Amino acid sequence: MKVGFIGLGTMGLPMANHLLKNGFELTVYNRTKEKMNFLTEQGAMVANSPKEVTLKSDIVFTMLTADAAVEEVILGENGIIYGAHPGLIVVDSSTISPVTSKKLAVELSKHDIDMLDAPVSGSEPQANEGILTFMVGGKKENFEKCMPLFLAMGKNAYHVGENGKGSYTKLANNTMTAINLLSLTEGITMAAKAGIDPEIFVKIVNGGGARSGQAEMKAPKMINRDFTPQFMTQLIHKDLGLASDVAKELEISTPILSLVKEIFQIAKAKGYGSEDMSSVIKCYEEWASIKVEKVNEEI
């Protein structure tokens, strides 16, 4: 099976590398060409455009940051659509609007290209370890055909319905991720303000009903002041905007989503957009006039 991969950023690079490690013939393209060097050293072939990737591949993955970038790669000049050939499947793992996912699937179908929207649950650590979870919208038979590729990059893959359903699922998931992160942030700020060692607090949280993936992954980054991005603040804010659009489309009330989106907007405005989303703790620290850090207490 010949595989193409377009978009070698924080998530795309390790995902593509796992495909190579699992023996798939891989052709890659990235706008910043230096990001392709590592994969070429591992045996990947390089293309000069998305069209060229497509001409050399049976299945093409895209992993990009926003709707406009995905549309450009698929429909733009020298895009995927111009490399169309019988049997091609395009798998978009970006987090984008379900409206865009469905639109692109329709446009590709006019050229006899099938598409899956297959965003992932997990961030950089899970991508590096190859333990992502894929949520996939599109034809069931294409999902099954791509399953070996999903399991090369992740631990689980679930078919959730027709085109667009993968994107709906991802935005619902990211809504919960953001809410859980702020619940951790408020709790750990309260504990720190009371003089409790945040490391001990997090151990208690992880042993009870308040435990969450965000407490497990992001509390150490907060306590150690490590805001190098695994998932940038500006990206979670973008996703919450897309989730808000979905809420309007579905005519559902999401008051917590609205508040959480505004808090991440504040974090962006304070200059934390390119830092990890856990940097939102710095807003809470400012409001509480404290710093979340270890307590060195001698007894």
Tell me the catalytic residues: 170
Q: What are the strands, taking DSSP E only, across 23-143? A: 25-29, 45-46, 59-62, 89-92, 114-117, 120-121, 132-137
**Which residue in 131, 192, 173 sits closest to 156, CA to CA?**
131
Give kind and range of the element (H or E) at residue 5. strand 2-6
Amino acid making up residue 167: S
Mind giving me the DSSP string for 171-188?
HHHHHHHHHHHHHHHHHH
Q: What are the strands, taking DSSP E only, across 7-64? A: 25-29, 45-46, 59-62
d(CA 267, CA 149): 36
Q: Any residues with CB less than 8 A from the CB of 11 and at least 6 apart, and which?
A: 63, 93, 120, 123, 124, 127
Q: How many CB atoms lie within 10 A of CB 29?
A: 25
Q: Any residues with CB less than 8 A from the CB of 248 and at least 6 apart, and which?
A: none
What residues are paired with 158 via a beta bridge? 135
